[in-house]
Structure 1
Amino acid sequence: MIFRQVLRQSMVAFTGLLISVGSTTAQDRQHQQPTQPAGQTLTLDQCLQIALERNPQILIAEGQVEVAQAQTYGSYTGILPTINASVINANRTTSGDRDQILEGIVIRQVPGGTRTNYFNNIALNYTLYNGGQNWNSIRRNKQLEVNSKHNVSNAENQIASNVKMQYYNLLRAIRLKEVTDEQVKLSEEQLRRSQSMYEIGSVAKIDVLQARAQLGQVRITLLNQQKAVTQTKANLNNVMGVDVHTPINPVDPIAGNTLAMMSPMSLQEATSLAFQQNPSIQRDTGGIQAANLQTKQARGGLWPTVTAGMTYSRNGVALRDVYGNYGNNWNLGLNISVRLPILNGTQTYANIQSSHAQRMIAEETLNQTKRTTLLSIRQSLLDLETSILVTELSNENIVASEEGLRLAEERYRVGSGTLLDVFNAQVTLAGAKSNLVIAQYDYLIAQATLDQALGRK
């Protein structure tokens, strides 16, 4: 009996221990569950590095360089000799009996038989001259390889500019959201003030309703700003070549709402730098050189082609005659030929005409690239100058708007002003702060656009 009681108590204690351990383990597992990753803080340089490593446009451009290098390597075939070897050729011929006829008279019958011949050879051929087609092909492919490298630099330049613009767009959206947050707080405070004044009979109920409507309108603006922040984050992630839902927190280069702004360079200086450094201009300039080489290559088809060759062969009726007795059963042949293209249809002249058209296209492409670059420089310099002026005016407007809001609130409090005056003052202050934010980041975006035109990453 006592033994049963002890056993029962032991089982209860053991069961309680298992429940306790299980509960503790479950709690530990809950604590070990991975948390949702917080937004990653990235500087502009870090975003640029990620984009240069992962953006598909750059990867495609780098792949095109590899293709151009392979084509350059393959073009050397034209200036190298070709060597071909036939290891073994066997020919077995069987014939029947036949009459041997002399002057229409059968003189005897030749019995049929079977004959086996073995043959091998090695041949070397080399093109001595073909109007420079082979050498111009090499030069053209080398130029195309250089152009493809300029295209990589151009892709990197464009991606860097896009990353900068999206990065600054994100910072601008965040700052504008902060301005709207301040406006929401002002509207909430004004609603509380109007409610208090209404309760003591200082203002009519319409002031409370207007304050509530104003707060609702500002909250709608805040929702739109929050949406803008989310969208610009997705745009930045897309340019960097990462998942658009990746959380990211940018580092604002504008400290304390102040941004050091320098006077932009002159148009002449910027244009000179762009024509020297812009990779798209360098690429399109190389396109003209490649078109010139294509014309020379096409004209080479009008010149004679001189080739030379040497052939060594062995033959016999048995394998030992071919792979033995090397002093016998061999032939050595040397040849040189000169071929003059008198008529080969219209292909040569079509190639020449096509190369002229390619040169015209390359020249117009370069001119258009220069015009586009010059337009971008003009617009960027104008945006820089405008942003500097707007920033100065916005700082002055903020000071005046803050004082205007203070006076409007005081006049409303003492009953000499209207609620509409307060609303207008709040809107004016928010507009001045928004204009400052927009001008500051317009300056940074204009600088990024100018850097792209100048070929600076």
Structure 2
Amino acid sequence: MTIRLVFIFCIASLLFFTPSESNALEPVDKKVSLDECIAIALENASTTKKAENSLRLQGADILRSYGNFLPKISASASYIPYSLSRSYTDLTGSANQTKKIKTKSETIDLTLTTSLNIFNGFRDYASLQAALKREDAGRFSLSRAKQAIVFDVTQAYYQVLLNQEILAITRENLLSTKDQLTLTDRQFQIGLKSMIDLYQQQAEAANSELSVIQAENQLERSRLELLRRLRIDPLTRLTLAPVPKNLFTTLPENIDINALIAAGLEKRPDLKGAELETRAAKWQITQYRGALYPKFDLNFNISTSGTESLSRSIGGDTIDYSYPPLLDQLENLTGYSVVLSMNWAIFDGFQTRYAIEQAKINYLNQRLDYDDLKSDIQIELQQAASEYSAARKSIESAKTNLKAARAAYEGIKRKYDLGAAGFVELSTSRAALFSAMSSLSQATYTLALQKNTLDFATGNVPIY
């Protein structure tokens, strides 16, 4: 009976637990569009999260800078439940009359201190202005990071679609070569083709199969690269929605490079951020220069104390002192003080001078980085516009080439079937047709990729 129960339990375990474990390892199919891929990447990308964390820190820095204009408040309290002190005293002026004094007490002390800076060489104001500029620069950095993600995901998405088309072309070419192989084999059987023609056609079919395998591998690689950018489960099997067919027909034909450069210098978030970082560095010079001026502070103190019990022993005699209630002591013994203080570092070993020079060098470096970025943007836009124009022209050339290659292949194939053309001519024409079809697909997606590059260089990438 026990063996039967164990057997039933094992069968139930296999039925109920094994399928769930195997399903956990199976790939998950997911159909996504370009907009959905961008949304997923923006949510999961670590670069945006880091930029958001940096922006959050900049907000805390602004709050700290605002706090420098407010009075500083501190409170202290101490309670001594038992204090014992011993000492010697000369009561009569004679060394022989020296007696030991022992004092016991229980005390409480309360102190409240406020300090308000009146003037410190505009350091607080300069620090606030620098913090505000850095926060604005952080927002632009976050915007540029999101644009980079949109650009990168769009490039990867288009690459997958392009590889899908190339795979479809290679499979179509494989079917054509297999059909030709079947025809050649039949012609060989009836004596219209030689054994060499059959072997050559078999080699051509095998080569087409290899091209399909390579295209499949390239497609899988591009899908994994897209998964890498989405930061989702690597076992996910993505099915991409095709882009609208009018995408490639609505792209502009001519580009005004001057207008493009003007738009790029106006819209690029990283350029705006670099400008704000430069202005923040300039305010830091004022901040460090404030140490050359005296600092004035207004301090207000309130303190009180009370003694709960106090006894003193002199020699063998003990004296107990009677105090008012502790709350009355705290109220009646309250003291106040208002202090206007000045602190001026007349010479600090050239530390302030070094800090000012360091701030100046940082400002000059920031300015150089800004100028370099501005120049790089203009060069990027000119290069992107040139490549876009070249991609636009290559489509027409690819269409003409495909039309001619298809007509040539069909003519040579008819001649080959009739025995008027050799295998070399047929193989060459088929390879030219396959190359022309691939070139047209590549030229079409290259144009879309270059348009995406042009938008990214201009800073005209929409944030979803």
Q: Output the TM-score relative to the length of structure 2.
A: 0.86
2:222 paired with 1:232: yes
Tell me how far apart the structure 1 counterparts of residues 27 and 268 of structure 2 sit (CA, whole Å): 40
Code of the residue aligned with 1:332 in structure 2: it is Y
Shift of 1:257: 11
Aligned partner of 2:7 in structure 1 is none
Residues 261 and 135 (structure 1 numbering): CA distance in 2 closer, same or farther, change over 3 Å? closer
Aligned partner of 1:190 in structure 2 is 180
Contact 1:125-1:310 within 8 A present in 2 as well = yes
Shift of 1:448: 1.0
Contact 2:301-2:336 within 8 A present in 1 as well = yes
Aligned partner of 1:98 in structure 2 is 89
1:104-149, Cα deviation, whole Å (9 max, x unpaired): x769646523164543221111111111111221221222111111
Tell me how far apart the structure 1 counterparts of residues 405 and 165 of structure 2 sit (CA, whole Å): 18
Aligned partner of 1:138 in structure 2 is 128
Contact 2:27-2:236 within 8 A present in 1 as well = no
Matched residue of 2:113: which SS?
A: strand
Contact 2:281-2:363 within 8 A present in 1 as well = yes
Aligned partner of 1:86 in structure 2 is 76
2:175 paired with 1:171: no
1:157-206, Cα deviation, whole Å (9 max, x unpaired): 00000000000011111111111111111211221222122222222211
Matches within 5 A, 1:21-170: 39-90=29-80, 92=83, 94-99=85-90, 109=98, 112-114=101-103, 116=105, 118-170=108-160
2:363 paired with 1:359: yes
2:426 paired with 1:437: no
Aligned partner of 1:204 in structure 2 is 194
Shift of 1:292: 0.7
Aligned partner of 2:277 in structure 1 is 287
Matches within 5 A, 1:383-402: 383-402=387-406
2:258 paired with 1:262: no
Identify unmatched segments of 5+ residues in structure 1: 1-21
Matched residue of 2:301: which SS?
A: strand
Contact 1:100-1:110 within 8 A present in 2 as well = yes
Q: 1:423 aligns with which of 427, 443, 447?
A: 427
Aligned partner of 2:416 in structure 1 is 412
Code of the residue aligned with 2:35 in structure 1: it is D
Shift of 1:326: 5.6
C-alpha RMSD over aligned residues: 2.9
Aligned partner of 2:4 in structure 1 is none
Tell me how far apart the structure 2 counterparts of residues 412 and 427 of structure 1 sit (CA, whole Å): 15
Code of the residue aligned with 1:423 in structure 2: it is S
Tell me how far apart the structure 1 counterparts of residues 30 and 95 of structure 2 sit (CA, whole Å): 104
Deviates more, 1:438-447 or 1:198-207: 198-207
Contact 1:144-1:286 within 8 A present in 2 as well = yes
Tell me how far apart the structure 1 counterparts of residues 114 and 84 of structure 2 sit (CA, whole Å): 29
Contact 1:100-1:107 within 8 A present in 2 as well = no
Contact 2:90-2:99 within 8 A present in 1 as well = yes
Residues 327 and 236 (structure 1 numbering): CA distance in 2 closer, same or farther, change over 3 Å? closer
Aligned partner of 1:10 in structure 2 is none
Q: 1:368 aligns with which of 361, 365, 372?
A: 372
Aligned partner of 1:6 in structure 2 is none
Matched residue of 1:128: which SS?
A: strand
Shift of 1:264: 4.1
Contact 1:261-1:388 within 8 A present in 2 as well = no
Aligned partner of 2:383 in structure 1 is 379
Tell me how far apart the structure 2 counterparts of residues 38 and 424 of structure 1 sit (CA, whole Å): 42
Shift of 1:260: 3.9
1:281-329, Cα deviation, whole Å (9 max, x unpaired): 1111111011011111111111110001111122344375763146632
Tell me how far apart the structure 2 counterparts of residues 414 and 355 of structure 1 sit (CA, whole Å): 85
Contact 1:311-1:333 within 8 A present in 2 as well = yes
Matched residue of 1:112: which SS?
A: strand
2:444 paired with 1:454: no
2:226 paired with 1:222: no
Q: 1:180 aligns with which of 164, 170, 179?
A: 170
Q: Percent of counterpart pairs with the same letter? A: 19
1:238-291, Cα deviation, whole Å (9 max, x unpaired): 112212331111122263997444214211111111111111111111110110
Residues 417 and 301 (structure 1 numbering): CA distance in 2 closer, same or farther, change over 3 Å? same
Matched residue of 1:427: which SS?
A: helix
Contact 1:233-1:244 within 8 A present in 2 as well = no
Code of the residue aligned with 1:411 in structure 2: it is K
2:298 paired with 1:302: no
1:73-106, Cα deviation, whole Å (9 max, x unpaired): 222332111112223354845232222697xx76
Contact 1:405-1:426 within 8 A present in 2 as well = yes
Code of the residue aligned with 1:380 in structure 2: it is A
Matched residue of 2:253: which SS?
A: coil
Residues 322 and 312 (structure 1 numbering): CA distance in 2 closer, same or farther, change over 3 Å? farther
Aligned partner of 1:312 in structure 2 is 302
Q: Output the TM-score relative to the length of structure 1.
A: 0.87
Code of the residue aligned with 1:276 in structure 2: it is E
Identify unmatched segments of 5+ residues in structure 2: 1-10, 310-323
Residues 254 and 333 (structure 1 numbering): CA distance in 2 closer, same or farther, change over 3 Å? closer
Contact 2:167-2:215 within 8 A present in 1 as well = yes
1:397-430, Cα deviation, whole Å (9 max, x unpaired): 1111111011101111222211111111111111
Code of the residue aligned with 2:433 in structure 1: it is L
Tell me how far apart the structure 2 counterparts of residues 257 and 393 of structure 1 sit (CA, whole Å): 19
Residues 153 and 273 (structure 1 numbering): CA distance in 2 closer, same or farther, change over 3 Å? same
